[in-house]
Structure formats: structure tokens, C-alpha cells
Chains A and B, each alone.
Chain A
Amino acid sequence: MAKELLKGNNAMAEAAIRAGCEAYFGYPITPQTELLEHMAARMPELGRAFVQAESEVAAINMVYGTACTGKRVMTSSSSPGVSLMTEGLSYIAGTEVPMVLIDVMRGGPGLGNIAPAQGDYNQMVRGGGHGDYKSIVLAPASVQEAIDLTVLAFDLAEKYRAIAVVLADGSLGQMMEPAELPEMQPLRKGTPDWAITGEPGRPRRLLTSIYLQPEAEETTNIRLQRRWLDVEANEVRYQETYLDDADIALVAFGTAGRVALSAVRQARAEGIKVGLFRPISLSPFPVAQIRQLASRVRSLLVVEMNAGQMLDDVKLAAQGACPVEFYGRMGGVVPLPDEVLAEILRVSTHPTADLNGHTRAAWLDRLEAGRGGN
């Protein structure tokens, strides 16, 4: 298919439809609303289910019910709305039914604002709800990648009977870029062998997240953990740019990854050997790849639109093999390439060991100094 100029929110919605999403339940919230609007227009046209629920809590429970029937189902929201859904997410994880969630992150905490941010990394990567479970979390950096990862999310959710999250931000949701949509997939015939379909005569199927006997609940937990080991073994995704001869490696995801790419190019033009490692799967996290990277570069520089949430995972992965530096903007401020370039220059000229655990304090000092009168 030819490239079209597509807005991120609309592109993810249409990608979900073409991946065979048969039901959407949601509640509007900026900067995600075009996704819901696109679904409102298109799903009824195709004879599929669209409900604008009375709240996010209702929407996620509608998703839960539909997921139990084995149909491809999704919801989407933005940070505060996703927080409202987290109880349902835990029930869905505990029931081992697949669903897709698209979170178009905005500034927080609290009601925050509608500007792009990455402050929900921990919430999504650690599962979001209560109990021991993990969700697959995929972080696109372009409209094309948002399309591709939305399709992938449906496949992975089904494969692992898990929640698959596409973790975007307001910038990606609102941005237009040329991109190519996939062909419309035919809807799957039949249902998975665990789905409840109300069919009389066949052996009973049970989907639940309540196991009153602790041993039975532990058995479920063991199954979830075993399955997650498979996810870790098979589903790590990342992109490396200019890393072959790099002394410094930036680690950044999503929109921060794009900003980092611009800064890396500018630094390369100044003769600095710097590259970019961009995790695409935030969960499972590319632990082994970052461990290996840390052993061959002089420094890692993590760039995020939050206070260093992925920073902790990078440090765990690096295991002290090299200093791990940090630069971030918070509250909906998108860092500009010039700021990241300044950080690359700093790390390049002062490769001071950052192994004392004061990464955030040092960053906050630099950030406050750089903001000046802001």
C-alpha cells in the first residue's frame, strides 16, 4: 500500500482495526482522543463493537468481558485514564486473557497536563495493577512504528495470553508522518480453546482471577512467571544506531529516542563517537544487550521524558560495567536536541565515574541551572 500522511492516534486506531480488533471500549482523554474518535467512526461501519463507556473503570471491565470470549479487543487512554483502569488490568492479567492497551502518555503526576511525557514507564513496565504479573510493553518512536507495534501487540497478547501495551506519548499521538498501513486482515474464524463462548455440550471452561486456596493461586502465579520467561527469551526488541565505534551510548525510548537521534547526529558532526540504543520492547527489557553495550563503551547516557524511570533498569542491566549518566525533562516538557547535545559534550569531556549513586541529584542540579528563569 502507498504511504499516507497519518496522525499517530488515527494510525494506531486503523492499524488495530486492520489487525482484526473486533471490539473497542474507551473514554475520551487528550492527547489520545482522535484514537477513540477514529474507532467511533470506523468500528460501526465494519459491524464491530464500539462503546464509549461511562468511565475508564467501566471500559476496562468491558474489555475484560470481551477478552474472555477470545475476540481481539482493546482500549486506549492517557495517563490518568490508565490509572483508573489498573484494577481491571490486574484482573485481566490474573485471568490470563489477552488484550491490547494503548497509552498515549501526558504530563503528570495527577491531572497534570496534556503535553507529551514518559512518566508512566514504571506503571506500565511493572504491570500497573496489584499482584505479580507483567505486561508486554512496546514503545514506538514514529507513526510507522506505532502502526507496526499495534499489529504486533495483538499477536503477542494472544500468543502469551497477556496484556500488550503500546506505550506512546502525546507527541506521537498528535504528530503526522508518512506511513503505510497494513492490509486488512480477515477476522479469525473460531475461538481459542480457552475462550468462553456459551456453547452447550462441550466440557466446561473456567476463566477467573479468584483462587481462594493460596496453593492454587500460587500454581497460577507459577504459570504466569514461566510464561514470562518465554516472553523474555523471545520478544526483546531494540534498535541500534551509530553504535559500532561509539565511546558513548545514549539509551532512550519513544519520542526521547528521536530527540536523542538528532543530538547524536549533531555530536557525530562534531567528531564525537556517540551512538544510540533505543529499546523498543520496554518489557521485556533488553537486559543482555545493554549489559554487553556497557562493557564496550566508556559511558551510557540515559535520556527520558521523566525523572529517570528506565534509568534504574539500565543501571541494573549495566551492572556497574560503566558509568550511567542521566538527562530528563519532566511534566510534559519535551527536551530539545540542543540540550541533549550539551549533555553528550559534557559526558564526552568529563567522563567522570557516576558510580556513587548520585545520578539524579547531579542531574537535578544541572536541570535547575539550565532552566534559569523558567
Chain B
Amino acid sequence: MQTEIIIAGFGGQGVLFAGQVLAYAAMDGGLHVTWIPSYGPEMRGGTANCTVIIGDEEIGAPLVKHPKAVIALNLPSLDKYEPLVAEGGALLVNSSLIDHQVARADVRVVYVPANEIAERLGDKRLTNMVMVGALLAATGALDMQVVKSALKAHLPAKHHKLLPANYDALDEGAQIAREALAQAV
């Protein structure tokens, strides 16, 4: 059993770090995990994505065609990955920057105004953690507490003052996903 997650957006939106948080949490939770970035000849402001695969046995291919979950932080990412999410998978859309509605009816969609929430929490750099919170609630890929512990364990001590805001961002994202999916049922 494995869960494949693609996180995609602009460079600078915390795409790679969000994936690493999931990878650290999976490792700390005793699971197998791979994290692999797109590493094309790109620069700040260009597109960035990473693939995280979490499983309970040795992971084979580090890339998949049809991921079980996608976080789309901007419109080009939604355009690219909407057709590829596995049937029944989760599509987390940053509605702060994407005003499109998802056309597919066979995936679970959650619209998260992640930039607004991050700015309300005091730091727009929390956008990625809001989306990660929504992902956790929508997929159950990892336990929220394990992710919070992983943040604390692997963030350098000098950044620990940022932990409470990160926890809030995770919780708010998760809350939005829970509400959205409850309405959808």
C-alpha cells in the first residue's frame, strides 16, 4: 500500500520544503518514503514540483503517472496535474491564486484559500503548511501529530519560534478540508 503525492507551484512557494516535511514525518513514523524534486533548468519564479511516495514496503519507482494526491499551488500546476490525479484521489487547490473550478467529478477536490489564511496567521510563507494540513485531512496519508512532531524534530532550533504558527497553519488547512469533504458526502 502506498500513497503518491505531488506538490506543485512556483519556485519560492515552499513546494520542496512541504514535501520534505511529509518525508521526515513518514520516516519518523517508521514508513518507507521517497522525495524527489523536479530539477530542471529552472529559476526562482519558475515552476517547481516534488513527488513524495509514502508506503509500508520498499518503494519502487520514485515517479508515478497517476498520483493519489496533488497539491496545486498555482494555475499552471492545476492545469498540468488535474488530468493525472488517480481516480478517487485528492486534489488540493490553492484558491487564493487559482479561480478555476476543477472539471473532473471523479476526484475529491478541496479549495483552500491558503495565501489568505497564511497572511491572516501573520506570514505568507505559511501557505505551504496550510496546504499540507488540507492534504493530511483529505488523504489520511500521515497522522497530524506525527507531522507536527517532525517539524519540531527537523527544523533547526533557531526556527522553533515559528512552530506555533506552522501548527496553526496545518490545523486550519485540515479544518477546511474536513468541512469541504463533509459537505461533499
- For residue B41, CB closer than 8 A to chain A, the reply is yes
- Against A, the Cβ 8 Å flags (1 = close, 0 = not) of B171-182 are 000000000000
A3 to B30, CA, bound (A): 10
Q: Does A222 contact B (CB under 8 A)?
A: no
Nearest Cβ distance between residue A178 and chain B, in whole angstroms? 4
A30 at the interface (CB under 8 A from B): yes
> Interface size class for chain A?
20 to 34
Q: Most chain-B CB neighbours within 10 Å: which of A170, A174, A260?
A: A174
Q: Using an 8 Å CB-CB cutoff, how does the interface string of B26-54 with A read, 1 for contact, 0 for none?
A: 01000011111101110000000000000
Known: A30-B39, A176-B35. A336 touches B64 (CB 8 A): yes
Distance A185 CA – B35 CA, assembled complex (angstroms):
29
B contact residues around A259 at 8 Å (CB):
60-61
* Contact present for A176 and B60 (CB under 8 Å): no
B65 interface contact, C-beta 8 A: yes
Q: Does B56 lie at the interface of the complex (its beta carbon under 8 Å from any beta carbon of A)? A: no
A174/B39 in contact, CB under 8 A: yes
Q: Does A177 contact B (CB under 8 A)?
A: yes
Whether B39 pairs with A114 at a CB distance below 8 angstroms is yes
Q: Measured between alpha carbons, how far is A31 from B39 in the docked complex, in Å? A: 8
Q: Is A184 an interface residue (CB 8 A)?
A: no
- Are A5 and B39 in touch, CB under 8 angstroms? no
Contact of B63 among A3, A5, A336 (CB under 8 A): A336
Q: If the complex has contacts A176-B20, A178-B27, are A5 and B61 also in contact, measured as CB distance less than 8 A?
A: no
CB B185 to nearest CB in A, in angstroms, measures 29
From B33, B37, B60, B66, A258 is in contact (CB under 8 Å) with B60
In the assembled complex, which residues on chain B have CB atoms less than 8 Å from the CB atom of A5?
Answer: 20, 23-24, 27, 33, 35, 154
Minimal beta-carbon separation of B124 from chain A (angstroms) = 26
Evaluate contact between A255 and B65: CB separation under 8 angstroms. no
Of all chain A residues, the one with the shortest Cβ separation from B65 is: A336
A114-B41, A261-B58 known; A334 vs B35 contact (CB < 8 Å): no
CB neighbours (8 Å) of B60 from chain A are: 258-263, 265, 337
A175, A336, A337: the one contacting B36 at CB < 8 Å is: A175
Cβ of A157 to closest chain B Cβ, rounded Å: 29
B62 in the interface, Cβ–Cβ < 8 Å? Answer: yes
How many residue pairs link A and B with beta carbons under 8 A? The number is 66
Q: Is the CB of B33 within 8 A of A177?
A: yes
Contacts of B39 in A (CB 8 A): 30-31, 114, 170, 174
Kindly state the interface size class of chain B when it binds its partner: 20 to 34
Q: B62 and A255: CB pair below 8 A?
A: yes
Question: A174 near B27 (CB under 8 angstroms)?
Answer: no
User: In the complex, what residues of B have CB within 8 A of residue A171's CB?
Assistant: 36, 62-63
Residues of chain A within 8 A (CB-CB) of B59 are 177, 258
Nearest B residue (CB) for A266 = B60
Q: Which residue of B lies closest to A141 (CB)?
A: B60
Q: Is A218 an interface residue (CB 8 A)?
A: no
Instruction: Give CA–CA (A336, B60) in the complex, Å.
Output: 10
A235 touches B (CB below 8 Å):
no
CB-CB < 8 A to B37: which residues of A? 174
CB distance from B139 to the nearest CB of A (A): 20
Cβ A176 vs Cβ B61 within 8 A: no
Question: A338 interface residue, CB < 8 Å from B?
Answer: yes
Q: Which of A196-242 contact B (CB under 8 A)?
A: none
- Cα-based distance from A178 to B34 in the complex (angstroms): 8
Cβ of B35: which chain A residues have Cβ within 8 Å of it? 5, 175-177
The minimal Cβ–Cβ distance linking A110 to chain B, given in whole angstroms, is: 16
Residues of B within 8 A of A115 (CB): 40
Contacts of B27 in A (CB 8 A): 3, 5, 178
Q: Tell me the bound Cα distance from A30 to B39 in angstroms.
A: 9
* B34 adjacent to A176 (CB under 8 Å): yes
Q: A31-B39, A114-B39 are in contact. Are A337 and B33 (CB under 8 A)?
A: no
Question: Scoring B residues 64 to 108 as 1 if CB is less than 8 Å from chain A, else 0, what string do you get?
Answer: 111000000000000000000000000000000000000000000
Taking CB atoms, residues of chain B closer than 8 Å to A30 are 39
How far, in angstroms, from A334 to B63 measured CA to CA in the complex? 8
Q: How far is the CA of A220 from the CA of B33 in the complex (A)?
A: 48
Smallest distance from the beta carbon of B6 to chain A beta carbons, Å? 13
**CB-CB < 8 A to A175: which residues of B?**
34-36, 62
**Residues from chain A with Cβ under 8 Å of B63 in the complex:** 171, 334, 336
CB distance from A153 to the nearest CB of B (A): 23
B41 contacts across to A, CB distance below 8 A: 114
Residues of chain B within 8 A of A336, CB atoms compared: 61, 63-65
Chain A residues, Cβ within 8 Å of B65: 336-338
A262 touches B33 (CB 8 A): no
Cα A261 to Cα B57 in complex, Å, equals 12
Nearest Cβ on chain B to A1's Cβ, whole angstroms: 14
Question: How many angstroms between the C-alpha atoms of A261 and B37 in the bound complex?
Answer: 21
Distance in Å: Cβ of B55 to nearest Cβ of chain A: 10
Query: Which residues of B are interface residues toward A (Cβ below 8 A)?
Result: 20, 23-24, 27, 32-37, 39-41, 58-66, 154
| 10 A-B residue pairs with CB within 8 Å | A30-B39, A114-B39, A171-B36, A176-B35, A178-B27, A178-B33, A259-B61, A262-B61, A336-B63, A337-B65
